[in-house]
Structure 1
């Protein structure tokens, strides 16, 4: 019984400790590499034999446990939801260190395909895995494929590029999120006739394009009395989104509903408030942040389609770790849920 327990509970570190050597020395002995004194080799092998230790399993353990570097390529600028993901990565520092993982956050202009592709190209050979909030553009797809060819494991985060050879996508079903927003706007507007405005960051971001598709699909099919206005793109910037929303409101006094697809929510809300139309226009957006929380409490926003930034950060790291270790991905664990948050159920 003692031998069986010893065999199953011993680790490489235990063998190294018992033989009085480093973990690297045990690795050299296991692989028959030169540079180890005969007496040291003997001590390591005796410790292995004494505990019926399995060298092949030990070698695999050592390979899986080597230090790995991950990069998270995130949007530059004041996107509060993206900042929440970055903050969650910071809170994982102890967990990452215990597993010999390090994460470096790289911010860039994800709205520019040339800049984003150039950023990705600079990562070749520097990281074992890359998570990226990606623009669906030929230059970016090519840069993602080149990263994969260079040996990196690539995960798209929040916004997918499914035609690239990325290994996995971590994020919500954005078409379903858009459909949810459409159903909310349509039902909250009720029987009032009028127009629906849509403010997006960029339709080249697949998450935004898919949300718009789902949103317009529901409104067109189920709320035919509402006219959907052409999408305007605020690049997730507050000032730009405010200016575009104000122009929409001036040009269309019969707007009864507004869907903000990405960030820039503070700017959209300011335009509604300055125009005296907050509370009169149904306003639905995304993500629970300090800004959307205040807007929900004030009644400026009616509902928020929420996804958990902590879950996304942890899922992306766990998926990259599994990919680099050749382990299966637990799909149910990594599935990101869509929540509807209103003033009365604010978390």
Structure 2
């Protein structure tokens, strides 16, 4: 049987109130008495159940998610998942809020982090931009004792507590391997459409993609990266220009969220047999898979990521360990033939029970 606070009080010869003061670091206990209580704790092997203690105190955890604003279906899906979780958060003693900032704007992201620190929240989850001001803001959160989770795009080495998202280098390698196999001996270069190389996930996906493509038996030219800022109009323009200027284009890898513009440009051009691999299963990419405009979609589960971030931030706030296997985010590969049921069929893609 696990030792209790009653056991500590009996062994130390003190009251339960004194044990509570020592456990919670409150004043009003003489040094010799505190030492006696601490010796009893050590002798009994007492491990405090922080979660139970917080439940008894009715502690509520305010958690903030900082997400990019704009026309990015995946980010809007993440936001919807946070708001969905927020409707049930009272029962789990959390209070969830969403703050949106301009996409790829490091200064705005740093300011939002500082605002959350000023509000003394219990945890912050953010889609990170790789910039010095963001690293510095994460450092300030750490100094304030506020757990910080990077979401979707990581900043390893920044002092963040945990990353919630897929292995983006592996995702890029998967895209490169599929692209090489789909194209086979077919000639022609491959274009890459990114959002911005200022976010680590896009850089890591590109790194993995190039490594896999370079390992293919036949060498293939990879065109300079097109940065569409995850904006459908800019992405449309960049892809339309590429299609017009590269008549032997063999493939396109869209590693960001400019897929609406990409799909529109391909549909407008028409008739070209181009292998297209994209990320995130949205209404647009699903329709493009069904019509054959896109060949493969690599997907991550937005719902699992939000639930994982909440669990991690709660655990960090309580000083409890994170269960790594539970928080591992899976990369799903979809082609036309294995699409899951859509929202109008009473099932949403990627809404597992993780």
TM-score for the superposition, normalised by structure 2? 0.80
- SS across alignment from 2:116: coil
Partner residue, 1:210: 204
Give yes or no for contact 2:50–2:318 (8 Å, CA) kept in 1: no
Partner residue, 1:268: 262
Partners in 1 of 2:51 and 2:92 — Cα distance?
A: 15
Give yes or no for contact 2:50–2:319 (8 Å, CA) kept in 1: no
Partner residue, 2:219: 225
Bigger shift: 105-114 or 155-164?
105-114
| Structure 2 residues not aligned, in runs of 5+ | 5-15, 23-46, 341-354
Deviation at 1:110, TM superposition (A): 3.5
Encode CA deviations 1:200-242: one digit per residue, 9 max, x unaligned: 0011110000000000111112154321000010111111111
* Among 240, 243, 250, the residue aligned to 2:244: 250
Give yes or no for contact 1:30–1:59 (8 Å, CA) kept in 2: no
The change in CA–CA distance for 1:58 and 1:290 in structure 2 (over 3 A counts) is: closer
- SS across alignment from 1:292: helix
TM-score for the superposition, normalised by structure 1? 0.82
Partners in 2 of 1:28 and 1:233 — Cα distance?
A: 62
Please, what is the CA RMSD of the aligned residues? 2.5
Partner residue, 2:313: 320
Partners in 1 of 2:231 and 2:209 — Cα distance?
A: 21
Partners in 2 of 1:106 and 1:59 — Cα distance?
A: 29
Partner residue, 1:61: 52
Bigger shift: 226-235 or 120-129?
120-129
Partners in 2 of 1:60 and 1:290 — Cα distance?
A: 40
* Among 150, 153, 156, the residue aligned to 1:159: 153
- SS across alignment from 1:263: coil
Partner residue, 1:240: 234
| Structure 1 residues not aligned, in runs of 5+ | 9-25, 33-55
* Among 318, 327, 330, the residue aligned to 1:337: 330
* Among 27, 52, 73, the residue aligned to 2:66: 73
Encode CA deviations 1:276-312: one digit per residue, 9 max, x unaligned: 245x110000011111110100100000011111111
Deviation at 1:61, TM superposition (A): 3.0
Partners in 2 of 1:96 and 1:28 — Cα distance?
A: 34
Partners in 2 of 1:282 and 1:208 — Cα distance?
A: 20
Count of equivalent residues: 303
Partners in 2 of 1:284 and 1:306 — Cα distance?
A: 11
Encode CA deviations 1:160-200: one digit per residue, 9 max, x unaligned: 00120000000000000000001111111121110100000
Partner residue, 1:110: 103
Encode CA deviations 1:135-176: one digit per residue, 9 max, x unaligned: 111111111111111221000000000120000000000000
- SS across alignment from 2:117: coil
Give yes or no for contact 1:194–1:225 (8 Å, CA) kept in 2: no
* Among 285, 289, 296, the residue aligned to 1:303: 296
Partner residue, 2:40: none
- 1:188 equivalent to 2:202? Answer no
The change in CA–CA distance for 1:100 and 1:60 in structure 2 (over 3 A counts) is: closer
Partners in 2 of 1:238 and 1:223 — Cα distance?
A: 34
The change in CA–CA distance for 1:223 and 1:250 in structure 2 (over 3 A counts) is: farther
* Among 118, 123, 131, the residue aligned to 1:129: 123
- 1:82 equivalent to 2:75? Answer yes
Give yes or no for contact 2:153–2:165 (8 Å, CA) kept in 1: yes
